[in-house]
Amino acid sequence: MNEVLRSETTTGRKLNYAFPRLSTSIVLGIEGFILFALYTIGYGVDAFPVGFAQAMGYLSIAAGQFFFGWLSDAKYTKWGRRKPWLVVFSPLLGISFIFLILPGLVLPDLSNKTVLFFWLLIWDIVFRVSYSFTTVYQAWMAEQFPVQERPAVSQFQNTMNYIGNAIMLVYGLLILTPSLGVLDTSLPSTVLYPILIFGVLVIILYITIVFTMPTEPNFETDTKIIKNLKTIVKNKNYMLIVLMQGFASFAWAIITTVMLNFIELVLGLSGLEYYAVAICLVIGFIVTLIFWRKQIQKRGKKRALLSLFLFAVILLPTTLIGLFPFATNIIFGIIFILIIAASLAGWNLFPYIYYADLAEDDEKRTGNLKAGIYTGFPSILLNIFQAFGPLIVGSILSLPDITVGTLTFSLGLVLWGPICSIILLLTYFYTKKYVTLDFEWEK
């Protein structure tokens, strides 16, 4: 049995490791935010084939995250286990993003919708499969950083995520969306150059950490995929945590999907008020990341996570304020978005940490570090859970319309908060009774 030795690291190394999350958040955010509208409105492809192509992309990432995680565990090279995958797939991710958003760079005739459909299908699958390699990157945390440093690393990663999301929203709302109507005939420089920069940035940031992060030592690991799968499935605590994350994801999917609709349709905010609230979301997220990270370090992961659930359970029902006319106020909008920011910041902090810890816990017991497969396996179950997210949101928002003051909106736009609260309350009791997140060896 040989154990990976992890020494203390500098803040510079933590930031260096976190920086690629900036670029992946931008490209994944744009792909998720604009792709459907881009191909249906901008390029005139029918909605059903566009939806089919995107569905194939989602299925490919579910398999890819597990598969690449296992492969990176299985093969050690002179560059280690993780670096070769970053070298191969980060260029593919950047290039596929550029081709996906800008088919006119290659295709001479954008009026041929059949060719456009196959272009979308192929490059969205390539994009999603390429994005799967981030499982390999994330698995690296278990080898690069000791357990006590992982909350800080996760904080830096999530900060980069939200800066990337902020850039994506500003670009998507102010530049890309207004340009959709002309993309089938022209390619404005305001669209062309930022997309090229975002795609190249992915490549640069990942290649940078290949050359600046140390190569992990060659430690013992069992490479038999069936045996590894059996080990994971038999790890009761690991499976309980994956189920906890999957069940809670119902609530987080509703929150992220509906929160901006609530701001606009229920609170009636628009224009500068809308952007002010969006800025508060980003700032609130970054600030509360620090708070939740300190809670983890002070109280432990499980107590901090339970506190997060209770925070969200108590405050999410504030969406009911939309039943009153006086709610159309920017003050309520800011208070509401800060609640959302604090809830999402805390939740997004945890998975980066506990999957690395679970892989190390398995290493302590078996002598094999399987960080890749431990990080990649949840994607199979979580994508199944996440597939139900749009159905839940659609059911909630299909409730009858109501009129409050001068605004008319679906009743679901005020009920989603209490619904999420109930989901997270059940998750709280489940987590409290069944899940272990803190281990004796951490002490």
70-86 confidence digits (pLDDT tens): 777 777 788 888 888 88
Residues 185 and 228 in one domain: no
Residues 214 and 234 in one domain: no
The model carries a pTM of 0.72
Angle between helices 150-171 and 271-299 (to 10 degrees): 170
Q: In sequence order, what DSSP letters do the residues of 207-237 get, joined into one string?
A: HHHHHHSPPPP-------HHHHHHHHHH-HH
In the predicted structure, residue 1 carries a pLDDT above the cut 50: no
Report DSSP state, residue 403. Answer: E
Contact between 350 and 213 (Cβ < 8 Å): no
Helix and strand element counts for the chain (H, E): 18, 2
Supply the CATH number for residue 253's domain: 1.20.1250.20
Residues 194 and 263 in one domain: no
Q: Which helix (H) or strand (E) holds 30?
A: helix 20-37
User: Once rounded to an integer, what is the mean pLDDT over residues 251-263?
Assistant: 81
Instruction: Report d(CA 73, CA 61) in Å as an integer.
Output: 18
Tell me what pLDDT residue 145 has.
87
Tell me what pLDDT residue 390 has.
58
Burial 281-306 (b: 16+ CB within 10 A, else e): bbebbbebbeebbebbeeeebbebbb
Q: In whole angstroms, what separates CA 214 from the centre of its chain? A: 26
In the predicted structure, residue 144 carries a pLDDT above the cut 60: yes
Residues 336 and 374 in one domain: yes
101-122 confidence digits (pLDDT tens): 999 899 888 888 999 999 999 9
Q: Which pairing describes strands 401-404 and 407-410: parallel, antiparallel, or unpaired?
A: antiparallel
Residues 253 and 208 in one domain: no
Of 195, 219, 243, the position where a domain reaches its end is 219
Contact between 78 and 214 (Cβ < 8 Å): no
Residues 203 and 238 in one domain: no
Q: CA 140, 354, 347 angle in degrees (round to 5)? A: 110
Residues 327 and 278 in one domain: yes
In the predicted structure, residue 343 carries a pLDDT above the cut 90: yes
Residues 166 and 232 in one domain: no
Of 177, 202, 219, the position where a domain reaches its end is 219
Residues 261 and 112 in one domain: no
Q: In whole angstroms, what separates CA 248 from the centre of its chain? A: 14
What percent of the chain shows pLDDT beyond 70? 91
Q: CB-hemisphere CA count at 13 Å for 106?
A: 13
289-339 confidence digits (pLDDT tens): 889 989 988 999 999 999 999 999 999 999 999 999 888 888 998 999 899
Tell me what pLDDT residue 119 has.
94
Q: What is the average pLDDT score of the chain?
A: 84
Tell me what pLDDT residue 42 has.
83
367-416 confidence digits (pLDDT tens): 666 666 777 777 777 766 766 665 677 788 788 999 998 889 889 889 99
Residues 229 and 131 in one domain: no
Question: Which residue bears the tokens 């059940």?
Answer: 426
Tell me what pLDDT residue 220 has.
61
User: Once rounded to an integer, what is the mean pLDDT over residues 21-28?
Assistant: 92
Tell me what pLDDT residue 72 has.
73
Domain residues for 190?
1-219
Per the structure, the count of domains in the chain is 2
Residues 306 and 426 in one domain: yes
Of 197, 219, 241, the position where a domain reaches its end is 219
Residues 407 and 333 in one domain: yes
